[in-house]
Structure 1
Amino acid sequence: MALNNHQIDHYPWLKKAYHDLTLPLVHERAHHALLIKFITGCGEDILISTLAMRLLCLAPKHNQPCQNCHSCQLFLADHHPDYYIIEPEKNKQSIGIDQIRQISQKIYERAQQGGNKVIWVKTASLMTDAAANALLKTLEEPPENTYFLLSDIDNGQLLPTIRSRCQFYFLTIPELDGSMIWLKSHIGTAQYTDNELATALLLNRNAPLAALALLHADQWQKRMHFSQNLQTYLSESDFWSLRDTFINDQIFMLIDWFCSLLSDGLKATQKSGRFIINRDQVPLVRMIASFNSEKIIQLYHIWNETRQQLQMINGLNQELMISNLLAQSEIILQS
């Protein structure tokens, strides 16, 4: 990932994290393995890439990579021979043991640039048990001048033995007000209302970069169209007409949006409207709240359960699953 001289300065919440993670380097007490947990869309790749570059830099200045030494130039060109990124191979959903073994063989060799070696395991919970156990052996007896960066989503499940060999760090994100300020500085303030900006953030657990991506014109228009269709068909207790909407390559995103609206509807029935996420869709939330709480809970349960099945079980017929889900939802709503 090519980095600008002050790229991390564009993300104020990352500056503290970078300082926290690099301070031990200044005092020569850096742990050889870091486990960094994050909420997707908070700038995790930018932070970790900058940290990796700092670890590889041969002449850091003020605890920043100099960006001028040969090592930094190789890094910026994505050709550093002592930097390894491990992630699922194309068309695979997990990190296999062979990937770990290949890296393990290389890192016991001398660094080609004469400095450190850095291994970044992206979304570490995607390692198979065999891969994790193979990595564990290396973490227990790490090569000299070698650093492991393991990054993972905040609810990712890693083997306890892997976690115990790493120094843990959670990448925090700004509060809603701070994220709103950042968003407004990156988009036209007249383009979106405060309620729309807040909704984009809350739908993404307050992760600023994920919210910014959702506010992209095409993506935001897709959400608006989805909400309009929901309001039209739910008013007629007609789920089946939503079938074509849900059967596409962004099915998980659409299910998440619908579940967030169901959750908001339930909050509204409990007189907790101030906690709703979809602040720009109050009429739709009120319509959902007009269903009784039991029906909303039933709907949320079957939609969330279907999402988990589609995500975790390979080979399921997606169209059939969605068709069945819509039929069940219609029965619940009309009962």
Structure 2
Amino acid sequence: MSDSHWTHVYPWQSRLWNDLIKRHQQQGLPHALMFTGVRGIGKHALALQTARWLLCSRRIEQQAGVACGECHSCRLWQAGNHPDFMECKPEDGSRQIRIDGIRKLNEFLMQTPQISACQVVNLHPVEVLNGNAANALLKTLEGPPGESFLLLETERLGSVMPTIRSRCQRLALATPPHQQAIDWMLANGCDPAAAAQALRMNQMAPIAALRWVQQQRHEQHQTWLQQLQQWSNGALPLDAMVTIWKNDELADVLAWLGQLTADLMRAHMGADTTQLLEPEVLGCFDAATLQPAKLVALHDRINKALGQLQSGASFFNRQLLLESLMIEWQTLVTEPGRH
């Protein structure tokens, strides 16, 4: 991670950041803060900025609410090896945070700070804690040892255990006003049309939208749409299409299929192209001919699988899942009597 990401407060976060600093200066911060908001809104950057500031040896002197960048603590932070900071996230290819990770967290917090006046742990994403890990973390949240801070992040607050949510002070990161988001993306090299579309596709979260543009996701989605049309028309065998998608992230494919079916449901109910995320779908499929009940069922199944995948609670056979979804899709778009 670059230093800029470790130290940056985005324009739409400035008010929340100033309130956070003011609160700490006046009455102190709770030991557990939970940063919430949609993907790509800047939760991780703000959590790291908070950690860096809390660890700064000259924090009290810095009335402006910024780390000094010069003390021994700040230099260690910039080098990426601060002994009083720990990051807890899924490890070893797992999608979940397991109890071993929380045990390391607890052992870390039992130690005495080496450089700074406190210790800081950044845990993300909270919603992928498995059951044992969540229970072990709960005990720590009830009474963290010494002068320590736990900075948690989640983009799916409803998936976090209520007992964990209730023991954290929530900091909700709202999406910025539309023009501010557009201006920020233009300043980062996007053209207006691409910026507007990317923001629509990413819940108005500028960081996710910028990444979407840089990774040429729109072009990728158009390729997927053409492949889906070819499969639907019988021009592309099922195994060939699934093989083509093998190098793409399964979560990305499922998210796109969910958006696609949502767009078709909107169009079936009379929405015009301005109300669709990717209106190009109407050039490939006629929403009026689709069976609504089957469309809703497929949409729900895709979203359920995506949620399970994101939580780390389920492990899917990629090929079998995609093949079964495509077969269900084929029954949706195939007209009665067509073979």
TM-score by length of 1: 0.86
1:184 corresponds to: 186
Q: 1:309: how far off?
A: 5.8
2:82 corresponds to: 80
What is the rounded CA distance, in whole Å, between the counterparts of 2:40 and 2:65 in structure 1?
A: 25
1:304 aligns with 2:306: no
Amino acid at match of 1:252: A
Q: Give the 3-state SS of the residue equivalent to 1:27 in structure 2.
A: helix
Q: 1:234: how far off?
A: 4.3
Q: 1:222: how far off?
A: 1.7
Q: Which runs of 5+ in 1 are unaligned?
A: none
1:64 corresponds to: 66
What is the rounded CA distance, in whole Å, between the counterparts of 2:71 and 2:222 in structure 1?
A: 49
2:227 corresponds to: 229
Q: 1:239: how far off?
A: 8.2
Superposed CA deviations along residues 302-323 of structure 1, whole A, max 9, x for unmatched, are 4334545666565532212222
TM-score by length of 2: 0.85
Q: 1:124: how far off?
A: 1.5
Q: Is the 8 A contact 2:127 2:156 kept in 1?
A: no
Q: Is the 8 A contact 2:260 2:278 kept in 1?
A: yes
Q: How does 1:241-320 map to 2 (within 5 A)?
A: 242-273=241-272, 274-279=274-279, 281=280, 283-284=282-283, 287-308=286-307, 314-320=314-320
109-118 vs 282-291, which moves further: 282-291
Q: Is the 8 A contact 1:43 1:209 kept in 2?
A: yes
Q: How does 1:89-238 map to 2 (within 5 A)?
A: 89-155=91-157, 157-189=159-191, 194=193, 196-216=194-214, 218-234=216-232
Q: Which runs of 5+ in 2 are unaligned?
A: none
Q: 1:258: how far off?
A: 2.3
Q: Is the 8 A contact 2:258 2:303 kept in 1?
A: yes
2:51 corresponds to: 52
Q: Is the 8 A contact 2:126 2:160 kept in 1?
A: yes
Q: 1:115 to 1:244 in 2, by over 3 A?
A: same
324-333 vs 301-310, which moves further: 301-310
Q: Is the 8 A contact 2:225 2:281 kept in 1?
A: no
Amino acid at match of 1:304: N
What is the rounded CA distance, in whole Å, between the counterparts of 1:187 and 1:52 in structure 2?
A: 30
1:325 aligns with 2:325: yes
Q: 1:176: how far off?
A: 3.5
Q: 1:210: how far off?
A: 1.1
Give me the CA root mean square deviation: 2.8
Q: 1:308 to 1:65 in 2, by over 3 A?
A: closer
Sequence identity of aligned pairs in percent? 27
Q: 1:299 to 1:144 in 2, by over 3 A?
A: closer
Q: Give the 3-state SS of the residue equivalent to 1:119 in structure 2.
A: strand
What is the rounded CA distance, in whole Å, between the counterparts of 1:6 and 1:112 in structure 2?
A: 21
What is the rounded CA distance, in whole Å, between the counterparts of 2:308 and 2:263 in structure 1?
A: 23
Amino acid at match of 1:260: Q
Amino acid at match of 1:324: S
302-311 vs 214-223, which moves further: 302-311
